[in-house]
Structure 1
Amino acid sequence: MTVPTFAIVGAGLAGARAAEAIRSEGFDGSIVLLAGETEYPYVRPPLSKDYLAGRAARDTIDVHPAPWYDERGIDVRLGARVTGLALDTHELTLREGKSVRYDRLLLATGASSRRFPGPGADLAGVYHLRTVGESQALRAELEPGNRRVVIVGAGWIGLEVAAAARGYGNTVTVLGRDGVPLAPVIGDEVGSVFAELHRVNGVDLRMETQADRLIGTQGRVTGVGLPGGEVVSADVVVIGIGAVPNTDLARDAGLAVDDGIVVDAAFRSIDPDVYAVGDVATVFHPVLRHHLRVEHWDNAERAGAAAGRSMLDQAVSYDAIPYFYTDQFDLGMEYSGYGALARDAEVVFRGDPARREFIAFWVLDGRVVAGMNVNVWDVNETVQRFIRTEVRVDTTRLADESIELDELLAGAPD
Structure 2
Amino acid sequence: MADPILLVGAGQASASCAAKLRALGYDGPLVILGEEQAAPYQRPPLSKKYVSGELALERLFVRPLSWYAEEKIELRLGIRVAALHADAHEVTLDDGRRLRYRQLVLATGSRPRRLAPEIGGDLGGVFTVRNLADADAIAPELQAGRRLIVIGGGYIGLEAAAVAAQKGLAVTVIEMADRILQRVAAAPTSDFFRALHQAHNVAIREATGLAGLVGEGGRLTGVRLRDGTVLPADLAIVGIGILPNDELAREAGLAVDGGILVDAQCRTSAPDIFAAGDCANFLWGGVRTRLESVQNAIDQAEHAAGIIMGGSADYDPKPWFWSDQYDVKLQIAGLNRGYDSTVVRPGKRPQSQSVWYFRAGHFIAVDAMNEALAYALGKKAIEAGKSPDPAALADPNSDLKSLLA
Aligned AA for 2:337?
A: A
Q: Is the 8 A contact 2:37 2:78 kept in 1?
A: yes
Shift of 1:339: 2.8
Shift of 1:91: 0.5
| 1:110-150 Cα deviation digits (max 9, x unpaired) | 001101134211111111110011101101100x2121111
SS in structure 1 at match of 2:220: strand
191-200 vs 401-410, which moves further: 401-410
Match of 1:398 in 2: 393
CA gap of 1:354–1:212, structure 2 versus 1, over 3 A, is farther
Shift of 1:160: 0.3
Shift of 1:291: 2.1
The answer to whether structure 1 residue 315 and structure 2 residue 312 are counterparts is yes
Q: Is the 8 A contact 1:366 1:394 kept in 2?
A: no
182-191 vs 373-382, which moves further: 373-382
Q: Is the 8 A contact 2:264 2:315 kept in 1?
A: yes
- TM score, norm. by length of structure 1: 0.94
82-91 vs 396-405, which moves further: 396-405
Q: Distance in 2 between matches of 1:4 and 1:382?
A: 46
Q: Is the 8 A contact 1:193 1:353 kept in 2?
A: no
List runs of 5+ in structure 1 lacking aligned partners.
none
The answer to whether structure 1 residue 364 and structure 2 residue 359 are counterparts is yes
Q: Distance in 1 between matches of 2:323 and 2:238?
A: 18
Match of 2:368 in 1: 373
List runs of 5+ in structure 2 lacking aligned partners.
none
The answer to whether structure 1 residue 5 and structure 2 residue 4 are counterparts is yes
Q: Which of 281, 302, 306 is the matching residue for 1:305?
A: 302
The answer to whether structure 1 residue 138 and structure 2 residue 135 are counterparts is no
Match of 1:294 in 2: 291
SS in structure 1 at match of 2:111: strand
Q: Distance in 1 between matches of 2:348 and 2:112?
A: 32
Shift of 1:408: 2.3
Q: For 1:71-150, list aligned pairs within 5 A.
A: 71-117=70-116, 118-142=118-142, 144-150=143-149
CA gap of 1:266–1:396, structure 2 versus 1, over 3 A, is same
Match of 2:222 in 1: 223
Q: Is the 8 A contact 1:152 1:174 kept in 2?
A: yes
Q: Distance in 2 between matches of 1:341 and 1:90?
A: 40
Aligned AA for 1:103?
A: R
SS in structure 1 at match of 2:163: helix
Match of 1:282 in 2: 281
Shift of 1:312: 1.5
Q: Distance in 2 between matches of 1:392 and 1:110?
A: 34
117-126 vs 177-186, which moves further: 117-126
- TM score, norm. by length of structure 2: 0.96
Q: Distance in 1 between matches of 2:81 and 2:61?
A: 23
Q: Is the 8 A contact 2:347 2:396 kept in 1?
A: no
380-389 vs 319-328, which moves further: 380-389
The answer to whether structure 1 residue 69 and structure 2 residue 107 are counterparts is no
74-83 vs 349-358, which moves further: 349-358
Q: Is the 8 A contact 1:53 1:167 kept in 2?
A: no
Shift of 1:381: 3.2
| 1:268-319 Cα deviation digits (max 9, x unpaired) | 111230000000001222xx12221011111112222222222212233221
Shift of 1:354: 10
Shift of 1:196: 0.8
Match of 1:49 in 2: 48
Q: Distance in 2 between matches of 1:312 and 1:32?
A: 16
205-214 vs 5-14, which moves further: 205-214
Aligned AA for 1:245?
A: P
The answer to whether structure 1 residue 383 and structure 2 residue 400 are counterparts is no
93-102 vs 117-126, which moves further: 117-126
Match of 2:331 in 1: 334
SS in structure 2 at match of 1:191: helix
CA gap of 1:291–1:165, structure 2 versus 1, over 3 A, is same
Shift of 1:394: 1.8
33-42 vs 205-214, which moves further: 205-214
| 1:144-169 Cα deviation digits (max 9, x unpaired) | 21211111111111100000001110
Shift of 1:3: 2.1
Q: Is the 8 A contact 2:262 2:281 kept in 1?
A: yes
Following TM superposition, where does structure 1 have runs of at least 4 consecutive aligned residues deviating by more than 6 angstroms? Answer: none
Q: Is the 8 A contact 1:367 1:387 kept in 2?
A: no
Shift of 1:5: 1.2
Q: Distance in 2 between matches of 1:80 and 1:290?
A: 35
Q: Is the 8 A contact 2:188 2:344 kept in 1?
A: no
Aligned AA for 2:65?
A: A
RMSD: 1.5
Identity of aligned residues (%): 37
Q: For 1:16-35, list aligned pairs within 5 A.
A: 16-35=15-34
SS in structure 2 at match of 1:51: helix
Shift of 1:265: 1.9
Shift of 1:353: 10
The answer to whether structure 1 residue 249 and structure 2 residue 244 are counterparts is no
Q: Is the 8 A contact 1:35 1:77 kept in 2?
A: yes
Q: Distance in 1 between matches of 2:398 and 2:48?
A: 35
The answer to whether structure 1 residue 199 and structure 2 residue 198 are counterparts is yes
